[in-house]
Chain A
Amino acid sequence: MADSEIQFLNAVSRPVPHDSARAHVAGRAVYTDDMPEAVGMLHGAFGLSQEAHAKILSLDLSAVRAAPGVVAVFSAADIPGKNDVSPFAGDDRLFAEREVIYYGQAVFLVVATSVEAARRAAKLGRIEYEKLPPLLSTQDALAANSVVEPAQSMGRGDVEAALTASPHRVKGLLEIGGQDHFYLEGQIAIATPQEEGQVHVLSSTQHPSEVQHIVARVLGLVDAEVTVEVRRMGGGFGGKETQASLFAAGAALAAVRTGRQVKIRADRDDDMILTGKRHEFSAAYEAGFDENGIIQAISIELASRCGCTMDLSNAINDRAMFHADNCYFYPVVKIHSQRAKTNTVSATAFRGFGGPQGMIVAERAMDHIAHELCLDPLLVRQRNLYGPGRDVTPYAMQVTDNVAPEMIAELVQSSDYEKRRAKVAEWNETHRIIKKGIALTPVKFGISFTTTHLNQGGALVNIYTDGSILLNHGGTEMGQGLMIKVAQVVADVFAVPVESVRISSTRTDKVPNTSATAASSGSDLNGMAAFNAAETIRRRLVEFAAKHFGVAEADVHFTQAGVQAGTELLSFAKFCHLAYLNRVSLSSTGFYATPDIHYDRKTHTGRPFYYFAYGAAVAEVAVDTLTGEHKVLAVDIIHDVGKSLNPAIDLGQVEGGFIQGMGWLTTEELVFDDKGRLLTHAPSTYKIPTASDRPARMEIKLWAPGRNVEPTIHRSKAVGEPPFMLANAVFCALTQAVAAAAAGGGFPKLDAPATPERILAAIAGLQAGHG
């Protein structure tokens, strides 16, 4: 394949606004719930389990059926195909059958003539349970040997021996909370019955192909009988990678059985109770290091709460392991990972996909080492970075694109880190109640699905005889700007304005067998697939023009003025029409498979990632030692997106990712009670950042020299997930501020999210002398 970088760039690299921006602000962007409804459309609501773990002794739905407006009620017995909405493991039920395994699990579905009628009726199910003891915490589950899969290990060398031989050692524990996606648009699907038992499903999903497969599986249809479509989501963040299937399958079942269109739109509470979240992690680390803080050996034990089924927990926990090194070289290392199966909602994909949880353990270890040696944590970080001769990860992949040292050096300068660190120290000398902290943390995030076969993308480009271009690919739009980036790529192939590329909804009947828009891979995979599709057409057109006008192919050029063939210049529209008259195909599919990646999960070695994306952030915070309240005062970021396809979109991803990460580590706290009930199931109790939480000073730059060493689409880099972990700087700065509150008290035991209560507890711990 030709290196796409050599193309003349017109649209690409320009900060073009999101293709839907004008529609967004005008209220004209259409989401699933906004679609015109068919006459007689029914509304669905799930009846939810009121126990975390119980046998279902009886299910009496007569009151539900009898409720006003109710048209039909469905439970497991009504499923014609398989009662399985899992991505691969076969353990997620559409409806609980015989046993409920988490509080809020769907047990039945009621469809009624109005949303209100359905939701009220859904509360009327009488379910008789025989309670079983629930396993709610990671620790309880592991103690009972309840896991979704066996523990995994990776590493090299004799860690015990190397730790013993190290001049200095620290060990610690870190609890890391989960996170709700809180996409503003909740889960929703609309299913419309088609002829011969086929079904069309509008789904707010990041993974239309999987929804298609699951709907077919549940209904006992073949994939070709199910079409899934998504125009846009009101946010996804991983929460609509596997979690949309339940709603789509429920709506499809009811639509096929009633012969009417069915919409299921979960209200916010049901959405938060029913669907999976980021994994909670518990981490233990022990590091051995020399007097300069350079790590000799490290042992990292990860354990996560996977919830009641597998979902994607295997890959998510693997990714936590892959990122427990972050930017740092561990000469001797063991990373051990346990995956607890609990009676809580099955944890799922969320921006970073386990990476954040792994990475923050590395940062905690750096802070701990620095504290032990009374060094600036930044110095310890810099000394431990990957570098020449120290460039092999714990999973035996050589790091060949390491730009972290350069980026950190630049950020130290641009953020004035040294001076500000001195000022923070000075502040802490002179202020009793408010303490400040500052930290610089880097990010290195591996790009590719670690399940190698998923790294493929497909596209379909149609050019019409008026020169307009319709672009379709397997990627989905959730706000991240994928569509505009890919449109820019296609526009450049023909040197036409990006506005002449029309974007259409993602449909399984246009581009089949796609991977989820996940793992930050959207523009890498679909951008290249669309590029290949467009290139196929362009090559045909060049060949045609050369023949038609009797010039050499090298003398055919697509320019902003039109198509140049020798001395002839035609508008793109006229040229396309001419090609049509001469029976040249103006449509092509395109395909892309990421090269050079491989991974052996048995040994946890290989090259799971095509490349790494890098970034670095400085955060400065203040902590109130009386109340635990805190504020992020200033943030400086440099982030590497390679050669940006669209700097405006990329900056948006960086800032949005950072703030979302900051929420995860500070205000966003999921609270479950001792019966396994989620108590924080609405924004009244679950607090994502607001505008006031954004630091007043926020300097964000894309790294100017950025260029992917691998031949990705125009040498760009993925940007969806990596910036999320820039927020680790906030957590580390808070740790510094807490330490300053009780100088000499030891290293703070601060857990995430660092709520005011946890901050105060960490300070109290230091003051009591057991830090």
Chain B
Amino acid sequence: MSVRFLLDGEVIALDEVDPTFTVLEMLRTRLRRIGTKEGCAEGDCGACTVLLGELAGDEIAWRAVNSCILFLPMLDGKALLTVESLGGDHPVQRELVTHHGSQCGFCTPGIVMALYGRAIGALGSEQSVADALSGNLCRCTGYGPILAAAEAAGRTPRDDTALVAALKNLKSTAREFRFQDALAGRERIAFTPRTADELAALYLEHPQARLVAGATDAGLWVTKQHRVLDELIFIGGIADLRNIDEKPEGLRLGAAVRYSEAQASLARLHPALGKLVRRIGGTQIRNAGTIGGNIANGSPIGDMPPALIALGAELTLRRGDTRRIMALEDFFIAYGKQDRQAGEFVESVFIPCPDASDMISISKLSKRFDSDISAVCGGIVLRVEAGRIAQARIAFGGMAATPKRASAAEGFLKDAAFSEDNLEQAATLLAADFAPLTDVRGSSAYRLTVAGNLLRRLWAERQGEIVSVLELEHG
């Protein structure tokens, strides 16, 4: 089957595609669209930013993504825009020139596309300019002229009428891509199921396949580790894994819901969750990566699990037609090992609505505010009734081989008075539960200290102290 997509409204059909060939490579080498650049090949610099559009009723939902870690089958049935699509005279481009927003110019096409996405109302376009650029690195300008240019460019909605019709006509039928890999010397295969039922059946047949949602991690297996992935199932296009269901009792997110799509609902559940999502990756990563992927990956430094565990989230796993529900913390067994059987996949996650008496503190600590991997990520939920802690749920990432609850501290706090002394005690008890590693993000001692300090932070915040520099303004 061929991969078919629209580039500037024209149908492009690519036959015999390597399912892990990246969109960036395709653009640069096959189509000679050299405006899109490779800066890092891991989704951290944004020089390769393109816009991906898919039908949403009678409109096109656009999102800025990193083409360097986007695999070709993920383009199938979609519309693609690159810097060349803009023609050179879009207000974003004009204002960048006027404001001297480029120096070496290598990051510029990616910045143009990120800002163009914001200007046309792409996913996440309600963000500030700086937030929209959280996934774009510029080493020359210091960003000031770029920020000013983006403000000056304003909003420029697109007329996508013709493209909508073209996309409707394109009708992707491809479900399977086979590729004779000369370099690897064998056939490789990828599937693109469209429903969760299809996925469930397919995964039973191919339990050794890798599930790929946003490819924000799997992309790096290919571009960084040069791994050859023989069997892939792309799940980003499965509509019934992309439901967002907000109910009074809580929020249910389908496994393939992207961070950006979930951000508003999570913020409604609790503002701190919205802010946490803001700190995950850059805009392009949040526009591709999924909550389900973040969980299923089982990373000890995944940013969502600690907060979700503290909030009492539950996971629904599905194998064939069999489903089971488990507390999120029980999913993580050991480093690289999750409670997931062959052919079983994460279908959704449910986050119960916090109680009015819950004190919630969610913190991500990293060297850089934007797009960094946390040294420590902490979720603390204390249910305080009449001055006593009725329930304590405290979970950390970056502190152990898995996201993990602080059992000793929780046990100590349960039924204890909500007091500075007791939180102080609980902080010291973290050493009983955690022996964190030293790595590039932080030393063991630092991690243990700041994890404890997050409990002190919660206390100070409750006393009316300003406890974070992150949103501090000058003046």
Interface, chain A (partner B; CB < 8 A): 15, 17-18, 20-31, 33-34, 68-69, 114, 116-117, 119-120, 123, 181-186, 232-237, 267-269, 431-434, 478-481, 620, 622-624, 626-631, 633-634, 648-649, 651-652, 655-660, 667, 669, 671, 679-680, 682-685, 687-698, 700, 755-757, 760-761, 764
Contact = CB atoms under 8 A, between A and B. Distances in A.
Given A27-B109, A633-B472, A690-B368, A267 B41 contact: yes
A526 B363 CA distance: 52
Contacts of B33: 27
Nearest to A67: B183
Contacts of A631: 369, 469-470, 472
Contacts of B368: 667, 687, 689-690, 693
A90 to B, nearest CB: 32
B44 interface: yes
Given A234-B104, A479-B104, A649-B100, A659 B143 contact: yes
Interface stretch (B3-11, B80-88, B306-314): B80-88
Contacts of B97: 17, 21-22, 25
B142 A658 contact: yes
Contacts of B367: 667, 669, 687, 755-756
A26 B93 contact: yes
B39 A629 contact: no
A694 to B, nearest CB: 5
B441 to A, nearest CB: 8
Interface stretch (B144-152, B172-180, B199-207, B255-263): B144-152
Interface string B117-145: 00000000000011101101111111111
Contacts of B137: 182, 184, 683, 688, 690
Interface string B415-452: 00000000000000000000000011111001001100
27 contacts: A17-B98, A24-B102, A26-B87, A27-B112, A68-B183, A68-B185, A119-B226, A181-B139, A183-B106, A184-B47, A185-B37, A268-B40, A434-B472, A627-B365, A630-B469, A631-B472, A652-B100, A660-B139, A669-B367, A679-B439, A683-B39, A687-B367, A691-B138, A694-B143, A697-B475, A755-B367, A761-B446
B36 interface: yes
B449 A624 contact: no
Contact of B88 (A26, A120, A633, A761): A26
Contacts of A33: 28, 34, 38
B268 interface: no
A484 B368 CA distance: 34
B325 interface: no
A468 B472 CA distance: 54
Contacts of B88: 22, 25-26, 28
B147 A682 contact: no
Interface in B338-377: 363, 365-373, 375
A34 B183 contact: no
Q: Which of B104, B133, B472 has the most CB of A within 10 A?
A: B104
Contacts of B375: 756-757
Contacts of B93: 22, 25-26
B129 to A, nearest CB: 7
Nearest to B226: A120
B226 A123 contact: yes
Nearest to A758: B446
Interface stretch (B288-296, B328-336, B453-461): B453-461
B182 interface: yes
Contacts of A431: 465-466
A479 B370 contact: no
B34 A27 contact: yes
A499 to B, nearest CB: 14
Given A685-B440, A692-B130, 16 more contacts: A24-B102, A25-B112, A27-B108, A30-B34, A34-B34, A182-B139, A268-B40, A479-B102, A652-B141, A656-B103, A669-B367, A682-B224, A683-B40, A683-B44, A687-B367, A757-B446
B383 to A, nearest CB: 23
B226 A116 contact: yes
B42 interface: yes
Contacts of A687: 367-368, 372
Q: Which of A23, A626, A671, A757 has the most CB of B within 10 A?
A: A626
Q: Which of B39, B45, B371, B460 has the most CB of A within 10 A?
A: B39
A149 B189 CA distance: 58
B215 to A, nearest CB: 15
A656 B39 contact: no
A23 B105 contact: yes
B181 to A, nearest CB: 10
Given A116-B183, A691-B136, A655 B105 contact: no
Contacts of A649: 100
A147 to B, nearest CB: 29
B103 A18 contact: yes
A256 to B, nearest CB: 25
Nearest to A623: B469
B457 A120 contact: no
B467 interface: yes
A763 B134 CA distance: 30
A233 B441 CA distance: 31
Contacts of A659: 141-143
B447 to A, nearest CB: 9
B38 to A, nearest CB: 8
Contacts of B366: 756
Contact of A478 (B39, B83, B104, B470): B104
B321 interface: no
Contact of B40 (A22, A620, A682): A682
B131 A692 contact: yes
A184 B44 contact: no
A234 B35 CA distance: 13
A697 B139 contact: no
Contacts of A656: 103, 139-142
Nearest to A120: B226
Nearest to B463: A432
B231 to A, nearest CB: 19
